[in-house]
Amino acid sequence: MNNLLSIFKALSDKNRIRILLMLSKKKLCVCEIQDILGVTVSTVSKHLSILRDIGFIADEKEGKWVNYSLNTASKDIVLNQIILILPFYLNDDELIQSDFEKVNTVCRKDLCNV
């Protein structure tokens, strides 16, 4: 029950939903997600830790960066179903479409090393 509640609580935030859908398109690092969401790095990091703890996403080091990716191989029924359903539900959403465009053009090297 508590596990299930954690899943729904994790999904009760607009920015976390946006992150999940971004990651369904492409692996991203924290600073790229920050750029797209328009919130501070610490806030993004907090959201990512919530999504990671549940098993929605996975992280992996690549040079200086940590790449986050969607975990499509979860054994959890609810997690799997949610990840399948989300795109059908939100592909037409204006904000999500705008996020998708940014995902394609975002460049971590421009964002950092200022």
Partner DNA sequence: GTATAATTTCGCTAAGTAACGAAATGAGAT
Partner DNA sequence: ATCTCATTTCGTTACTTAGCGAAATTATAC
d(CA 8, CA 11): 5
| Distance from the Cα of residue 46 to its chain's centroid | 12
Here's the x/- map for its own copies, 4-23, by CB under 8 A: it reads as xx--xx-xxxx--x------
Q: Which of 24, 45, 69, 80 binds DNA (CB under 7 A)?
A: 45
Q: Please tell me the distance from the alpha carbon of residue 25 to that of residue 1, in angstroms, as a whole number.
A: 30
Binder of DNA out of 3, 8, 25, 42 (CB under 7 A): 42
Q: Which one, of 58, 62, 67, 51, lies nearest residue 7 by Cα?
A: 51
Of these partners, its own copies, DNA, none, which one is at the site of residue 41 (CB under 5 to 8 Å by kind)? DNA
- Helices and strands, counts by H and E, the chain: 7, 2
Q: Which CB atom, from 51 or from 79, has the smaller least distance to DNA? A: 51
Does position 39 interact with DNA (CB under 7 A)? The reply is yes
Residues 71-90 that bind its own copies (CB under 8 A): 77-78, 81, 85, 88-90
Helices 14-25 + 94-105 axis angle, to 10: 50
Nearer of residues 10 and 83 to DNA, judged by Cβ: 10
